[in-house]
A and B are shown apart, each in its own frame.
Chain A
Amino acid sequence: MAKDEAWKPAKTDKSERLFQLTCVLLYSERGLTKRELFHAVDAYRIDLQNSNEDDFALNKKFERDKSELREMGIQVTNPDQKSDPDDMRYQIASDTFTWPEGVEFDAQQLQLLNLAAQVWAQASLSADANRGLVRLKGLGIEPAANDLVGFAPRLRTHEPSFLPLSQAIEERIEVSFDYRKPDGSVSKRHVQPWLLRNIDGQWLLMCWDKDQKAARNFLLKRIVSKVVFRSEQVNEKDVSLITFEAPASEMVAAAITDLEEHTANQVATLRVKKDTQAWFHFHLDDHAGETADVSISYMDLHLLAEELSEYALDLKVIAPQELAKVIRARFEAVANAHA
């Protein structure tokens, strides 16, 4: 697997450049100016041969490298705040490589961390988790235990809105998006995003709806537009107007309880035919007779209709009648779309 192309040790390789930049910054005790760094890092010095320190592309590369280091948790700081960017000194914060007491992992814990890092099916989350795991392994002496082999829990994120929403939650920025209700009507929503919740495999955005002035839950799969950060719509000095305070934990807890109560109060009753797939699905083996009635609570009528569509021939909806209607309407829509 380790082919030559997997490793390109060249002075211009990005990993080598970032690594050298890190080492140079760590060596210096007082910090280094941009000009000093341009001469200390091979890749920058090579660029300087055909340009000068004011070169736009070189400065841009340096800015990008700095922000990449920060994104990877290497805290590049400016110890003495100077107004002139040419005099500004750069350093790496001293606690970047210092772990708090007691952060160590035994073989069982490493195994759980391994499993947790493999959970993400989405590429960029998976990359972040695996890079973190490589660092944690670097701390450890023991190899991970492996008595959890043969178990692969995965979190899927089919929705393109997942990543921008998680970023907006992290940075506490208001967002807007178009939301399509099951009846087909689309409306623009302005929200303060709080939390992404996964319930039975469905992703929900729990947020403060600015128009409704209330906590609301939105299903990610019904978001039909790009997620727009309101910071894109205002000047930099007005950004404070569209960022928001973290919600109080009681508010989040209350919103979670609300949804749970809502789900518990909505009950559907189904009559299931013996030994069909639905019979297996609802685990009805203990029932005698050719049919069994089963009652289930549900969060959203249309999600339930989607789930039950797979068993349309195996069961009959006893209540609510609305559920039977929705299932029927869905099949009619399918038949019409393929007429």
Chain B
Amino acid sequence: MPKLRGFNGEDRYNFLLALVGYLGHRTEVSLDEVAEHFNLEGDYIVKALRSLNDATAQVSGFEEWPFYVDIDLLDEGIVSLTTAEVIDDVPRLSTRQAAAISAGLSYLASIPEFAGNPEIKVLIDKIAAGSSRGIAEVISIAPGSVEAGAEQLRQAILQGRAISCEYINRKGEKTIREIDPLRIDLTGGVWYLRGYCPINLGVRNFLIEHMRGITILERDISDDAKQVSEIEDATYVAEVTDTTVTVEVAPEAYRLITDFQTVSEPKDVGSGTIRSEIKVGHLPNIGRLIAKYGGAAKVIAPAEAREYVRKYALSALGESTEDASREIE
């Protein structure tokens, strides 16, 4: 959904053109319907309409008013736009717009859940036809594998029901959990469940492959879970109690920086290596997180975090008798 906070000049221009085209298809429509259709706030639509109403065009020395919005009707919540037919439809897609949507559709087609959906091919063809200058194939996505359980979790989300399952955490501990499921994320080929955890009283990220024996419960998700309005996209969401860790990552480990919310602007320290600060909830987890990158990621500070990484690596090498502490969730 277009986020207003991120709406810039190009977005507004683009929206004005789409709005004129949309209103050209109908005589009168309620403001609420327009707002819902574009997933924008009513106030924003009103501002856009007023600006259309004020728009002028100098034609051969005369001032023309290409659009007329009935302001009295607008005050009653009804949108009526009369145009001088200068714009009679929405502009076709730009090459980049078409390419980005088309690649998104290809990605959907690579997900087993949609693989058999004939609509996707139809849509890709329509998008290519709707592009102003055709479309070049730039991106292709190899079919992935479905995570057992994902479909059941999606059904639970649609029904608004809680689930229970056996879950193995990053420490290797198995527990029976109840989770209020909210969203299934598929990122980098890995399936996650974003769910409200009644024990932690917050949204947590669960690896779906770490679940077994998923059961949809009779109870609805809790009111607290229903209150969750926005779920962050970052794999890890920082909390105030987190430790700030300074890391240096080579290109092979950039993912570490994007998976975490970085505290400071990443700084290039030469030959593609970037220094940044990340927030880590349970410090002993840092060992597993960093060791994965085989030397491409390095902890600079604090010393305690460096020690966790060293111990983790040594224990993986079988050289340490101490049990390296592992991640909680």
With contact pairs A152-B184, A334-B290 given, residues A224 and B132 touching in the complex (Cβ less than 8 Å): no
Contact residues, A212-258 vs B (CB, 8 A): 221-225, 246
Cα(A195)–Cα(B291), bound, Å: 31
**Is the CB–CB distance between A120 and B100 below 8 Å?**
yes
Point out the residue from B16, B100, B119, B298 that lies within 8 Å of A19, measured CB to CB. Answer: B16
- Is there a chain A Cβ closer than 8 Å to B162's Cβ? no
Distance in angstroms from B314 CB to nearest chain A CB is: 6
Cβ contact within 8 Å between A338 and B184: no
Interface size on B, residues (CB 8 A): 136
- Interfacial chain A residues near B26, Cβ < 8 Å: 141
Q: A1-B5, A197-B140 are in contact. Are A72 and B251 (CB under 8 A)?
A: no
In A1-23, which residues have CB < 8 Å from any B CB?
A: 1-3, 6-7, 9, 13-16, 18-20, 22-23
Contacting pair B100 A117 (CB below 8 A) = yes
Tell me, yes or no, whether B98 is within 8 Å of chain A by CB.
Answer: yes
With A195-B138, A338-B298: A19-B13 Cβ-Cβ less than 8 Å: yes
CB < 8 Å neighbour of A132 from B64, B98, B292: B98
Task: Name B51's contact: one of A16, A27, A336 (CB within 8 Å).
Answer: A16
Smallest beta-carbon distance B260→chain A, Å: 12
> Within the assembled complex, what's the spacing in Å between the Cα atoms of A6 and B182?
30
Q: Which of A288-339 contact B (CB under 8 A)?
A: 302, 305-306, 309-310, 312-314, 328-339
Task: Say whether B252 faces chain A, with CB atoms less than 8 Å apart.
Answer: yes
Give the shortest distance, in Å, between B21 (CB) and chain A (any CB).
4
CA distance A108 to B306 in the complex (A): 51
Q: Mark the stretch among B39-47, B72-80, B238-246 that contacts chain A.
A: B39-47
- Which single residue of chain B is at the shortest CB-CB distance from A41? B58
Q: When the two chains form their complex, are residues A39 and B313 in contact, meaning their CB atoms are under 8 A apart?
A: no
Bound-state CA distance A172–B193 (Å) is 40
A135 touches B157 (CB 8 A): no
Write out the residue numbers on chain A whose beta carbons fall within 8 Å of the beta carbon of B183: 150-152
With contacts A170-B99, A198-B142 known, is A221 near B252, CB below 8 A? yes
Task: Identify the stretch in A50-58, A80-88, A264-272, A275-283 within 8 Å (CB) of chain B at 4 or more residues.
Answer: A275-283
Whether the Cβ atoms of A6 and B108 lie closer than 8 Å is no
Q: Which of A63-92 contact B (CB under 8 A)?
A: 68, 71-75
Complex contact B295–A2 (CB within 8 A): no
Point out the residue from B254, B309, B317 that lies within 8 Å of A158, measured CB to CB. Answer: B254
Given the interface contacts A7-B48, A40-B57, does A129 sit within 8 Å of B100 by beta carbon?
A: yes
Residue in contact with B130 in the complex, picked from A15, A99, A222, A313, CB distance below 8 Å: A99
Q: A125 on the interface (CB 8 Å rule)?
A: yes
| Structural contact, A129 and B309, CB atoms closer than 8 A | no
Q: B233 near A196 (CB under 8 angstroms)?
A: no
Checking A116, A121, A143, A170 against B105 with a beta-carbon cut-off of 8 angstroms, the contacting residue is A116
The count of residues in chain A whose C-beta lies closer than 8 Å to any C-beta of chain B is 124
Interface contacts (Cβ under 8 Å), in number, total 394
Most A CB contacts (10 A, CB to CB) among B56, B211, B313 go to B313
A117 and B1 CA atoms in complex are apart in Å by 9
Instruction: Say which one of B82-90, B196-204, B276-284 lies at the interface with A.
Output: B82-90
Across the interface, name the chain B residue whose C-beta is closest to A101. Answer: B129
A49 at the interface (CB under 8 A from B): no
Which residues on the A side are within 8 Å of B69 (C-beta)?
none
Q: A24-B57, A125-B100, A221-B252 are in contact. Are A156 and B294 (CB under 8 A)?
A: no
* A261 beta carbon closer than 8 Å to chain B: no
Asked if A310 contacts B288 (CB within 8 A), the reply is yes
Q: Considering the chains assembled together, what is the distance between the CA atoms of A3 and B47 in angstroms?
A: 11
Chain B residue contacts of A102, Cβ below 8 A: 126, 129
Indicate whether A183 reaches chain B with its CB closer than 8 angstroms: no
Is the pair B90, A138 in contact by a Cβ cutoff of 8 Å? yes
Which of B4, B16, B148, B317 contacts A283 (CB under 8 A)?
Answer: B148
Interface residues of A (CB under 8 A from B): 1-3, 6-7, 9, 13-16, 18-20, 22-24, 26-28, 39-42, 68, 71-75, 95-100, 102-103, 105, 108-109, 112-113, 115-121, 125-141, 143, 147, 149-156, 158-160, 166, 169-170, 180, 195-202, 221-225, 246, 275-277, 280-281, 283, 285, 302, 305-306, 309-310, 312-314, 328-339
Binding site for A on B (CB under 8 A): 1-2, 4-7, 9-19, 21-22, 25-26, 36-38, 40-41, 43-44, 47-48, 50-51, 54-59, 64, 66, 86-101, 103-105, 107-108, 110-111, 113-114, 117, 119-120, 122-123, 126-127, 129-133, 136-142, 144, 148, 154, 157-158, 168, 170, 172, 174, 181-190, 209-212, 233, 250-252, 254-255, 257-258, 271-272, 288, 290-295, 298-299, 306-307, 309-310, 312-317
